[in-house]
Structure 1
Amino acid sequence: MDDIKIGEILLPGDEETQERQEENVRAKFWPTLKKAIRQIPFSRDLVASFYCATDRETPLRVRGILLAALGYFVLPLDAIPDMFAIIGFTDDIAVLTTAIALISGHIKERHYLAADRMLADASPAQNAA
């Protein structure tokens, strides 16, 4: 990630860019999360960030930052390919952690409750039953 700065990745872009980014994130977020969920130590924050980014009540700039970070998360190719187990997600974790820290006050309780419901539904214990 030497050539790519996290600040550049997190630029919110204009409204048209955000719309394209949201479409991409909506299409790829859940499959990517399913592959990475055991390797990401803050899945609850990540899923709450998704709900915050797709919430029309979230300010446009905040949505843009989150969509940029989530867009980086769902990219098939990035600075460190995700196929390299835990190491592959370290760059994604750095970008996501920075984005969440920048906008943490905008992730509301309703976003966390939605994340909790989704993660409970996706838990291995539930799926094994």
Structure 2
Amino acid sequence: MSDAAEIINTVKGQGDIYLPKTIQRNERLARGLVPKLARLAGKLPFADDLAAAYYAARDPLTPVKAKAVLFGAAAYFVMPADLVPDVVVGLGFTDDATVLATALSVVGMHVKERHRALARKLLALPEPVKDPG
């Protein structure tokens, strides 16, 4: 989509910021992320990365294109239709992990320590131990 078409296909989001409609749609889908993460957090080795990506996507300081990628990854996680159904033992979340890893490889520099701290708080994870040396 061209930049002009993207501007035409915008809606007013939180904080009166205009966002492309696809970001708004993915943000609506991603709202189901927190309840699903709460149910599955102990079973997902990438739960903290997913929650941090979600918080980065909701951050007004994150660039719009990065938001689109991060919301897309979060929305894929909560979508009921998956490439590999989540109920398949051993393989169910591999596609979700791959989508998240790809998203973080592209826009991971926008996931800041403040987002990771919020993710740890949400998932009741301990703070990392700082190296004294």
Deviation at 1:54, TM superposition (A): 1.0
Deviation at 1:36, TM superposition (A): 3.0
Percentage of identical aligned residues: 39
**After the TM superposition, which residues 1-129 of structure 1 pair with which residues of structure 2 at under 5 Å, given as runs?**
15-26=20-31, 28-120=32-124
Alpha-carbon distance between aligned partners in 2 of 1:105 and 1:20, rounded to the nearest angstrom: 23
Instruction: Tell me which amino acid in the other structure corresponds to 2:118.
Output: A
Q: Give the TM-score taking structure 2 as reference length.
A: 0.74
Could you list the runs of 5+ residues in structure 1 that have no partner in the other structure?
1-12, 122-129
Alpha-carbon distance between aligned partners in 2 of 1:83 and 1:35, rounded to the nearest angstrom: 13
User: Is the Cα contact below 8 Å between 2:38 and 2:123 reproduced in 1?
Assistant: no
Any runs of at least 4 consecutive aligned residues in structure 1 with deviations exceeding 6 A, and if so which? none
The higher relative CO (CA closer than 8 Å, separation ≥ 6) is in 1
Give the root-mean-square deviation of aligned CA atoms: 1.7
Q: Give the TM-score taking structure 1 as reference length.
A: 0.76
Deviation at 1:86, TM superposition (A): 3.1
Alpha-carbon distance between aligned partners in 2 of 1:118 and 1:38, rounded to the nearest angstrom: 13
Could you list the runs of 5+ residues in structure 2 that have no partner in the other structure?
1-5, 10-19, 126-133
Instruction: Tell me which amino acid in the other structure corresponds to 1:45.
Output: D
Instruction: Tell me the SS of whatever aligns to 1:88.
Output: coil
Alpha-carbon distance between aligned partners in 2 of 1:31 and 1:81, rounded to the nearest angstrom: 18
Structure exhibiting the larger radius of gyration computed from Cα positions: 2
